Structure 1
Amino acid sequence: MSEKSLRVNMLSSSEKVAGQGVSGAYRELLRLLKRDAQKELDITENQFVQADITHYHTIDPLFYLSTFFKKRVGRRVGYVHFLPETLEGSLKMPRLFQKVLGKYVTSFYNRMDHLVVVNPSFIDDLVAFGIARDKISYIPNFVNKEKWYLSTLEKRQNTRKEFGITDADFVVLGAGQVQKRKGIDDFVTLAEKLPHITFIWAGGFSFGGITDGYEHYKTIMENPPKNLIFTGIVEADKMRDLYAATDLFLLPSYNELFPMTILEAASCGAPIMLRDLELYKVILEGSYVAAKDVSDMNMMISDLACDGTALSKLKEKSRQISINYSEERLLQVWIDFYRNQAKVK
């Protein structure tokens, strides 16, 4: 390790749970820094080592205990992938436990010397938890162009055949964990209202039976409308094929920070429709179609299915998302961030 190289120890257990965006974001950052920042950063992973900076990606109790060994872990940087209220509509748990967990999350964030958010709209929420504004930085997620890219017409056709979809069918794809806050109920309602359009939801129960509404959604997945396909949790290669096979990517979530699926879909060329949330306006303004509710979604999907020109323009906007959140642009941002953090005493 050179004299100028900083040791950054990454702590994360995100990959223990399949099908969640935190794992994807963590793996992409680790891959990028190990590949392209070797001269500046010495990256270790899940070790209790002497470090200049320890970057906490998940809030495990053991990681929390390590924050008390300040001389060993160095500068403590926390990655904010969710807020306490994000857990509502995600996991089924007693009200008391939910309250305790919320306090734990807040305590964990307060133990950090600095926090990184993937969406600037959540800085005010953290300030409300008692965290100083100057201790929070915004660094967005980014997309790996080697994994998420435009596919071929042949691949699009083959994937459609695999799911029994014809070239003439209009396909709407949603992705993420099957849980209430993701807007699954609205997705199902849209399939019922638009029987001539094919809907696909890629994702499953990453947290099994403790998922909020598990029995309800399990019943729906076992008996969906005829034009709605639930794929379950899928690997990246298959997800890329699904993005290529779709005509419109729809994320009807009620609560998010910065879903990796949006960046993935955009990089694969899929036009984007999102629920009209304030948080998207900050990071994606003008690059997607915003729908207020299921009625809005219904109308807009119907219009886009009949308007190839509008769909093409929306597809071009997705290309701009892919450019804005490329790994090339974010690499130097991360290197500079770590250097600046290491200077703070």
Structure 2
Amino acid sequence: MFSSADKVAGQGVGSAYLELMGLLKQYGQQHFKVTVNKFGAADISHYHTIDPQFFVSTFSKKRGRKIGYVHFLPETIHGSLKLPKLFEKIFDKYIIAFYKRMDQIVVVNPIFIEKLVQYGIPRQKVAYIPNFVSKSEFYPQSDTKKALTRGKLGIDLDRFVVFGDGQVQKRKGIDDFVTLAKRHPEITFVWAGGFSFGKITDGYEHYKKIVADPPVNLLFTGIVPRKELVDYYNMCNLFLLPSYDELFPMSVLEAFSCGTPVLLRDLPLYQAIIAGFYAKGRDVDDLEAQILQIKADFEQQAHLHRLALKAADKFSEEHLAKIWQDFYEMQAQNKPSQLVADLLKN
């Protein structure tokens, strides 16, 4: 494994990496010997981040079969970081150059296969394996525990709470989250996350002012340790992610695993992986209507709760453990990715 993803708190790449490492520790110790950021000889080298030293290492014959995990594309970086135009162009080319150094690409969302093909990466090199979360980390809590969390946050038990998390940046739809809070002072809105990449975050100055002086019914918690997020997913009535662009957000899977009703912006990329498990809205007005409808309808809340748990079973670590085991074994034998695609269909 090659990764620096867990060095930056509050971002999904690190969460996905830690989940896979946890899965291999639990299910794969009898099958694989795993090292992290060691440049010795290996049968398989799995790159989670695109650090320059990792790029250099791809030219070594010791690397074995090189696997690149695609957590982002140039266009998704554009919505997250504000970089000088010249550096942005260079960085875009570097991202794709790194992916082209791989023998095998793994995407977390199948709609990105075609985009990688457009960047010049052969289709047969790309396989789809979805993200997942551990049910031992994210799970439904008791009403007592939910009440304790609300007490710590100063939120009344009878308040309807809408929760979202992720980096505070334009791509995440923070402006719509704030607008919804302003429109509905009778609802408490909570956002867990911060500026993981500091001043180069897209819209940093704008969002810094919002975080410093939010509406009275909107709480920005800052970056919350991942092990504590389970409390937030459980204490809320509805999880809302109004992002304009995503790959496969870990936060949605975490909410599902807690049985939390989920509301998302209606994006085509979700339809390929989690269609039917969540409520959706096209824009801020549509999201507002959905929130009010869910707030007023206990049966719909119960229905979305059941859908969340159903989705959690689909993307559980138990389901994905066998897929990753077979995938790595295929890679060690230089088997084509199409076999992985067939496996996933089953």
Same fold (TM over 0.5): yes
Q: Is the 8 A contact 1:200 1:231 kept in 2?
A: yes
Find out whether 1:90 has 2:80 as its counterpart: yes
Q: Is the 8 A contact 1:194 1:298 kept in 2?
A: no
Find out whether 1:307 has 2:297 as its counterpart: yes
Q: In structure 2, how many angstroms separate the alpha carbons of the residues matched to 1:293 and 1:96? A: 33
| Among 89, 97, 112, the residue aligned to 1:99 | 89
Match of 1:19 in 2: 10
Find out whether 1:206 has 2:214 as its counterpart: no
Q: Shift of the alpha carbon at 1:236?
A: 2.3
Q: Is the 8 A contact 1:276 1:291 kept in 2?
A: yes
Q: CA RMSD in A?
A: 0.9
Match of 2:261 in 1: 271
Match of 1:58 in 2: 49
Find out whether 1:36 has 2:24 as its counterpart: no
Match of 1:177 in 2: 167
Find out whether 1:219 has 2:209 as its counterpart: yes
TM-score, L = length of structure 2: 0.95
Correspondence list, 1:33-182, <5 A: 33-69=24-60, 71-182=61-172
Partner-residue secondary structure (3-state), 1:119: coil
- Structure 1 stretch 26-35 or stretch 73-82: which is displaced more? 26-35
Q: Shift of the alpha carbon at 1:42?
A: 1.0
Partner-residue secondary structure (3-state), 2:194: coil
May I ask how many residue pairs the two structures share in their alignment?
Answer: 335
Q: Shift of the alpha carbon at 1:164?
A: 1.6
Correspondence list, 1:182-201, <5 A: 182-201=172-191
Partner-residue secondary structure (3-state), 2:273: helix
Match of 1:232 in 2: 222
In structure 2, runs of 5+ residues without a counterpart are 336-346
Partner-residue secondary structure (3-state), 2:264: strand
CA offsets 1:28-68 (integer angstroms, 9 cap, x no match): 11111122112211111110010000000000000000111
Q: In structure 2, how many angstroms separate the alpha carbons of the residues matched to 1:144 and 1:252? A: 24
Q: Which amino acid in 2 is paired with 1:239? A: L
Q: Is the 8 A contact 1:18 1:206 kept in 2?
A: yes
Q: Shift of the alpha carbon at 1:171?
A: 0.3
Q: In structure 1, how many angstroms separate the alpha carbons of the residues matched to 2:254 and 2:174? A: 20
Q: In structure 2, how many angstroms separate the alpha carbons of the residues matched to 1:89 and 1:64? A: 24
Match of 2:314 in 1: 324
Q: Is the 8 A contact 2:168 2:207 kept in 1?
A: yes
Moved >4 Å (runs of 4+) = none
Match of 2:339 in 1: none
Q: Which amino acid in 2 is paired with 1:264? A: E
Q: Shift of the alpha carbon at 1:75?
A: 0.5
Q: Is the 8 A contact 2:43 2:65 kept in 1?
A: yes
Q: In structure 1, how many angstroms separate the alpha carbons of the residues matched to 2:79 and 2:214? A: 21
Partner-residue secondary structure (3-state), 2:35: strand
Partner-residue secondary structure (3-state), 1:174: strand
Q: In structure 2, how many angstroms separate the alpha carbons of the residues matched to 1:313 and 1:215? A: 40
Match of 2:344 in 1: none
Q: In structure 2, how many angstroms separate the alpha carbons of the residues matched to 1:129 and 1:88? A: 16
Q: Which amino acid in 2 is paired with 1:134? A: Q
CA offsets 1:169-189 (integer angstroms, 9 cap, x no match): 100001000001000000000
Q: Which amino acid in 1 is paired with 2:104? A: H
Q: In structure 1, how many angstroms separate the alpha carbons of the residues matched to 2:110 and 2:328? A: 19
In structure 1, runs of 5+ residues without a counterpart are 1-9
Q: Is the 8 A contact 2:10 2:194 kept in 1?
A: yes
TM-score, L = length of structure 1: 0.96
Q: Shift of the alpha carbon at 1:313?
A: 0.3
Q: Which amino acid in 2 is paired with 1:40? A: H
Q: In structure 2, how many angstroms separate the alpha carbons of the residues matched to 1:163 and 1:221? A: 16
Q: In structure 2, how many angstroms separate the alpha carbons of the residues matched to 1:31 and 1:168? A: 37
